[in-house]
Structure 1
Amino acid sequence: MAGRKQRHLYNSAHEAARAGRLLSTQVRTVVGVAGIVVILGAKGLTIKTPPTGTTVMTARQLLPWLARRPVVLGPRQITALSAVAARPETWRRTTSNLVDPGFVRYEFAKLRAAVESARRRRIGWVLGLFLGGPVVVNTLFYAFPLLVRF
């Protein structure tokens, strides 16, 4: 794309294989998944060598391509597969450990308090240097001649 190599073909094939494995595991039957890369806004598309594992097409070619695909699943299978695909846990590597929202709010409140405390401390240091700096410089300025005499 624009003279730069991209990994879209590899990623599409990889994600299609992954989706097929995950869906097959959930529905306990083999689910075929096709990798597709759709180029948007292209006036034309020239493919010198068709890639393996992925179909490349323009946005205009997508609907006719889908219409030509053979019907493989029945209505019940489509409903079951759609339900499995809609569940977030289908796509995660590990099941999420849900945390009580009250605990999350409590932890965020503690974090907010720590940040606020650090902000106040930082302001205190800046004010201390701003107000105390001239006193220290003035003291050294007048005390230094006295110290040099001895």
Structure 2
Amino acid sequence: MGAKGSDIDHVLVGPGGVFTLNTKAHPGARIWVGGNTFMVNGHKQPYLRNSRHEAARASRLLTAATGSSIEARSVIVLVDPGNLTIRTPPPDVAITTRRGLQRWVSALLPVLSDQEVETIFTHVRRSSTWT
């Protein structure tokens, strides 16, 4: 689901909300996050900026498709990092690991009804939503 520099890896829709998942495979890498800085093995990466862009794009397109205001939030999902240090979490991007994703999602408080989840999910599945 990519366009104009945006490449949404996955969209998660559930009672806890709508999320764009930006998956990053860095097996064994040292990941360090502090505010707006995301580093892999000591090198800055644009993952936070890109994740925000993807969530904003999904919000716009899903709002247009459903006719309701949809706010997608961004999540960076790390695949098998060696070490993950989050000194200061970014306020608007969640960061978790592949193994921690289910626990993170399970801890979310419900914000969408079953009907809202079904409606949004219907539009997420349609390719026409993303063009």
TM range (shorter): 0.5 to 0.7
Distance 1:64 1:32 in 2: 22
CA RMSD of aligned residues (A): 1.4
How many residues get paired? 92
Q: Report how far residue 60 of structure 1 moved.
A: 2.5
Identical residues among aligned pairs (%): 34
Q: Report how far residue 87 of structure 1 moved.
A: 1.0
Q: How do 1:1-150 residues align onto structure 2 when only pairs under 5 Å count?
A: 1-92=40-131
Q: Report how far residue 43 of structure 1 moved.
A: 3.9
Mark the runs of 5 or more structure 2 residues left unpaired by the alignment: 1-39
Distance 1:77 1:44 in 2: 37
TM-score when normalising by structure 1: 0.56
- For 1:44, the aligned partner's letter is N
Distance 2:115 2:96 in 1: 30
Say which structure, 1 or 2, has more relative contact order (CA 8 Å, 6+ apart).
Answer: 2
| SS of residue matched to 2:44 | coil
Distance 1:10 1:57 in 2: 16
| SS of residue matched to 2:94 | strand
Distance 2:92 2:110 in 1: 20
Q: Deviations over 1:14-45 (max 9, x none)?
A: 10111011101111111121100111112431
Structure with greater helix percent: 1
Mark the runs of 5 or more structure 1 residues left unpaired by the alignment: 93-150
| SS of residue matched to 2:121 | helix
Structure with greater strand percent: 2
The list of structure 1 runs, each at least 4 consecutive aligned residues, that deviate by more than 6 angstroms after superposition, is: none
- For 2:42, the aligned partner's letter is G
Query: Is 1:36–1:54's contact at 8 Å kept on the other side of the alignment?
Result: yes
